[in-house]
Amino acid sequence: MNNLTVIKIGGNVIDNPNALNRFLTDFAKLLGDTILIHGGGKIATQVAEKLGVQTTMVDGRRITDQAMLDVVTMVYGGLVNKQIVAKLQALDINAIGLTGADANIILAQKRPVKDIDYGFVGDIIEVDSGRLQSFLHQELTPVIAPLTHDGAGNMLNTNADTMASAVAVDMSRHKAVTLVYCFEKKGVLSDPTNDDSVIRELTPALYTEYKTAGTINKGMIPKLDNAFNALRNGVERVVICHADEVAMALQEGAGTTLRVAANQPES
């Protein structure tokens, strides 16, 4: 079983052309199969503003009405996705830009309304990892925008962190998967005021400790929950690191590596 690295890059990389170019240059050099999942960045908010579409965020998640769905479909599925694909092509990576609707790779359902109506937000039902595996076999590199569809004709906005976890889990049927979350810090920090206080290895016990102490803050919690969930469901390794340090992190020289006893007994 050969290796696959699923990498998620966030808005901070996408919003900064130099950071994006640096990341893509490093990404193009990675060995083994790769899948790239990108977030949205601030461009969607800026485009929405100019188009007169209101942006409402609840708990860090965008409320997606029809007008906002059109904006994110444009910006994530069009502008951001195709810019990344074109740049990877220039780096001799045969990238293929996809949303969940394309080749039906990620089917979702509109999130049921409980306390909050998130609008056109998709909770993932199924990843067609067989199709993604087939694309990798054809030497294509999937570049996936944080959009899914409901199978009934509607696109849905989907959180990129969750999507990366779901793709990594499902791909672990076919390959030994490493999941990498890139963000603006060098890893999970034990001291939020010190950028160099990277926790090298994070176990569930340690995670609980940091959460209780309030050291690991609100925004990190869903990311880490996604990450531990992936580890418990077949993903071999999860790394959280700065976008500039992906290559180093994959050689275990940077970032935070998550460990659960069950699948990493040797460490």
Nearer CB in complex with its own copies: 4/147: 147
62 in a known ligand binding site: yes
User: How many residues would you count in the chain?
Assistant: 267
Of 234, 181, 176, 241, the closest CA to residue 32 belongs to 176
**Least Cβ distance, residue 147 to its own copies (angstroms):** 7
- Cross-sheet strand order for the sheet of 237-242: 95-98, 141-144, 33-38, 3-9, 176-183, 237-242, 256-258, 201-202
Please name the amino acid found at residue 105. I
192 binds its own copies per the rule CB under 8 A: no
Among 3, 16, 109, 154, binds its own copies (CB under 8 A): 154
50 binds its own copies per the rule CB under 8 A: yes
Report d(CA 143, CA 163) in Å as an integer: 12
Report d(CA 110, CA 97) in Å as an integer: 23
- Residues with Cβ within 8 Å of residue 248, at least 6 apart in sequence: 241, 254, 255
SS3 call for 33: strand
**Least Cβ distance, residue 76 to its own copies (angstroms):** 7
Instruction: Quote the longest CA-to-CA distance of the chain.
Output: 55
Report 115-134 residues binding its own copies (CB under 8 A): 134
41 in a known ligand binding site: yes
149 binds its own copies per the rule CB under 8 A: yes
Report 56-115 residues binding its own copies (CB under 8 A): 70, 73-79, 81-83, 85-87, 89-90, 94-99, 101-104
147 binds its own copies per the rule CB under 8 A: yes
**Region of 44-52, 195-203, 234-242, 257-265 interacting with its own copies (CB under 8 A):** 44-52
**Least Cβ distance, residue 12 to its own copies (angstroms):** 20
User: How many residues contact its own copies, by CB under 8 A?
Assistant: 41
Residues paired with 238 in a beta bridge: 179, 258
**Least Cβ distance, residue 2 to its own copies (angstroms):** 21
22 in a known ligand binding site: no
β-pair type (3-9, 155-157): unpaired
Report d(CA 41, CA 86) in Å as an integer: 18
Find out whether 143 and 94 touch, Cβ atoms under 8 Å: no
The annotated binding site is made up of 40-41, 62, 157
Residues that bind its own copies (CB under 8 A): 47, 50-52, 70, 73-79, 81-83, 85-87, 89-90, 94-99, 101-104, 134, 138, 140, 147, 149-155
The annotated binding site for substrate is made up of 40-41, 62, 157
